């Protein structure tokens, strides 16, 4: 089983021709609300991966936004360990999605700031704990320590980017970051590969946008080129990647295959609006992969060379 500890937000999404610059007002095309939050998105992605019992510990306010988020999570099959905050409203995010599918996001954490280690359920039966950085860092560290002591694999998606104490990184078995987050954790490290090697975690996974992803599991390296899709909204793509990856690894899937499925799920998530609303099922991911031709080895080589990674063994 996978346990996700993290944030849940109600997303207000405005589509516009472009993301406004500082001081600029942009007329939007439309506005919609979606269930979101990095933690909740990743829990839904894990649950939709198929065959993986996924539960989530989260904090929500006592308001109608909370009801909307609980319904979304439960309908995806996520079991909830809920702390209701008496002082904070449910977290919200304000997202501008440009016509080129890029986005800019502002988050008001609200009740997410009330999540604490004592809200964790019994860890018996769980194999992996997946966390992000939209809840307080002391809570993330304490939850990681509790999971480590209980023998779980600790997975941290270090997003949004924050400086992380060595004590927290020492508790992380699998670190998932994008290239910007990787650079913030290993400044001045040189190439992507050198930055990955500079971090103390046993495994480091880096998402590289449309290029794909790269991973180091111990001394083994894996490269997965991106998939060509017509992007509509990139919101939640990284979360989809994280949830799918951890779900597959929790079932014993080899890293190369898990990386491929996570990349495919993230690509499909970019073809629909919203965060949780766009997360594909395992069946959709499998059908997408079956529709593709044989692996483009030249693309693998280009990705490896771009990251200055060693040859695959």
| Sequence-ordered list of residues with C-beta below 8 angstroms from that of 308, at least 6 positions apart, any chain | 190, 191, 192, 193, 194
Active-site annotation holder among 233, 239, 296, 305: 239
274 vs 183 pLDDT, higher one:
183
Active-site residue 239, yes or no? yes
What pTM does this model have? Answer: 0.90
d(CA 243, CA 17): 30
Residue-wise pLDDT for 43-102, tens only, equals 999 999 988 899 999 999 999 999 999 999 999 999 999 999 999 999 999 989 898 888
Of 33-37, 243-247, 295-299, the poorest mean pLDDT is in 295-299
The yes-or-no verdict on residue 165 having pLDDT over 90 is yes
Please, what is the average pLDDT of the chain?
91
pLDDT number for residue 301: 62
pLDDT number for residue 233: 79
Q: For domain 2-19+30-307, is the CATH number 3.40.1190.20?
A: yes
Residue-wise pLDDT for 111-149, tens only, equals 999 999 999 999 999 999 999 999 999 999 999 999 999
Mean pLDDT over 187-201 rounds to 89
pLDDT number for residue 244: 96
% of the chain with per-residue pLDDT over 90 = 70
% of the chain with per-residue pLDDT over 70 = 93
């Amino acid at each position: 089983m996978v346990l996700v500890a993290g944030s849940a937000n109600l997303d207000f999404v405005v589509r516009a021709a472009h993301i406004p610059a500082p001081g600029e007002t942009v007329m939007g095309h439309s506005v919609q609300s979606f269930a979101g939050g990095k933690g909740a998105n990743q829990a839904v992605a894990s649950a939709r991966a198929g065959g993986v019992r996924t539960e989530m510990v989260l904090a929500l306010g006592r308001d109608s936004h909370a009801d909307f988020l609980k319904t979304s999570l439960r309908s995806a099959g996520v079991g909830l360990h809920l702390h209701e905050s008496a002082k904070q409203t449910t977290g919200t995010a304000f997202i501008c999605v440009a016509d080129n599918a890029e986005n800019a996001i502002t988050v008001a954490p609200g009740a997410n700031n009330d999540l604490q280690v004592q809200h964790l359920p019994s860890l018996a039966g769980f194999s992996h704990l997946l966390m992000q950085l939209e809840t307080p860092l002391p809570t993330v560290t304490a939850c990681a320590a509790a999971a480590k002591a209980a023998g779980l694999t600790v997975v941290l998606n270090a997003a949004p980017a924050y400086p992380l104490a060595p004590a927290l990184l020492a508790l992380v078995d699998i670190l998932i970051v994008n290239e910007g987050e990787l650079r913030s954790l290993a400044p001045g490290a040189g190439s992507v590969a050198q930055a990955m090697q500079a971090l103390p975690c046993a495994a480091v996974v880096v998402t590289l946008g449309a290029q794909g992803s790269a991973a180091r599991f111990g001394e083994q390296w894996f490269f997965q080129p991106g998939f060509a899709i017509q992007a509509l909204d990139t919101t939640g793509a990284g979360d989809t990647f994280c949830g799918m990856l951890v779900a597959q690894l929790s079932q014993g899937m080899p890293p190369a295959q898990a990386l491929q499925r996570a990349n495919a799920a993230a690509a499909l998530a970019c073809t629909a609006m919203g965060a949780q609303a766009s997360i594909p099922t395992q069946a959709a991911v499998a059908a997408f992969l079956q529709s593709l031709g044989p692996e483009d080895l030249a693309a693998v080589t280009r990705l490896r060379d771009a990251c200055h990674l060693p040859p695959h063994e």
